[in-house]
Amino acid sequence: MIFLDNAGTTKMFRECVETYSHFACEEFYNPSAVSRQSAFVHAKLEDTRKFLLKKLGAVEGTIIFTGGATESNNLAIKGAARNGNFEYIFSNGEHPSVFNVAKNLGLEGKNVKFCKLGKNGKIDLADLESKLNKNVKLISCMLVSNETGAINEIKAISSLRDRLASNALLHVDAVQGFMKIPFSVEALKIDMLTFSAHKFHGPKGVGGLYVRKLNYIKNIVDGGGQEYGLRSGTENVPGIMAMRTAVEKIDVKKNFEHVLELKQQLNKILSGVQGIKVLDFNGSPYIEVLVFDGVKGETMLHALEEKGVIVGLGSACSAKKAGNRILQEIGIDKDEIISSCRISFNAYMTSEEIEKAGKTIIEVYNDIKKRVS
């Protein structure tokens, strides 16, 4: 089986399984208890926070461990919301765990604004600039689009924030960027950042929220006061430590270059094939969109699955809904949207797998076209 839906999830490293097992069955102690063994586990968590801060390029702040990206995004947005004459800005390209939270803020009476996307899949900076003012409390946007791979210009966004909305916090959903593309929260002047372990070969159900200053947010769930009182509940120690193992194993620069080669290889195989179109937004090499003229994307997905190639239809959080909000926003034709599949790579695939996947995609597409024509 060749798995090309890595934006949806990734296969966990064997080393992560071993780490998880150790902290689930050996060092299984509650980090909030007072025993010596618990203190040891607590120290491991604190050291992991420092380790992740370094990986993020942070010179200050902390990591709040969460159950994954959806919780992190909710905590960042709802936790930063305040009563008063404030405005909250999001893009139309956000993942449902941001976009739907934003819509609900609006239903609650908050002043919520959405920025357009350009044809390149990125946030329209001119539109963002027109919406910024001193009343803006929060700007929330993704680093890498989970649908197209487009990379937003976070440095330009933070510069606009500094000039026009200096009191606003900048929250970045980096789920498709962390451990995949090089960046630094300090260089990009990011105040809060979301990441999720299962997107970079760690376990599902664990992630984190980077926060530059703890007073930027308030808790949204009451409980025992763990995670600085911002995320109550006993920490998922096995998951957190397994996530660390995944981060330790990854070489971002080396992986980036390898995935870029894989993407270029696949596109070369598909180039010139009548009816197959690559929508490449010149962003992350990990993600691209293929359009199959005259064949529904879902039909291609299931036919490819029968041949041992797994592709995606976009965000697993919204793939069962008709259409694609992001592709529609950037002006992709409705027929092309219906005929599209998302291809997403991982850095541990081989050239041989890509060769086979490319030939299989062509074979399956041509076979379906013959049968429906």
CA dihedral of 38, 43, 46, 50, whole degrees rounded to 10: -160
Cβ within 8 Å of residue 264, ≥6 positions away: none
Among candidate residues 16, 25, 141, 317, the one labeled active-site is 317
For residues 300 and 311, what is the distance between their CA atoms, to the nearest angstrom?
9
Residues 327, 328, 329: CA angle, nearest 5 degrees:
90
317 is catalytic: yes
Whether residue 102 contacts residue 243, with contact meaning beta carbons closer than 8 Å, is answered with no
Cβ within 8 Å of residue 120, ≥6 positions away: 150, 281, 282, 330
Angle between helices 96-107 and 69-80 (to 10 degrees): 30
For residues 11 and 25, what is the distance between their CA atoms, to the nearest angstrom?
22
Q: What is the DSSP string of 12-39?
A: PPHHHHHHHHHHHHTS---TTS-SHHHH
Cβ within 8 Å of residue 4, ≥6 positions away: 309, 310, 311, 312, 343, 344, 345, 357
Residues in the chain: 373
For residues 291 and 295, what is the distance between their CA atoms, to the nearest angstrom?
9
For residues 371 and 176, what is the distance between their CA atoms, to the nearest angstrom?
37
For residues 52 and 79, what is the distance between their CA atoms, to the nearest angstrom?
22
Place of tokens 């997403």: 344
Which residues are marked as active site? 317
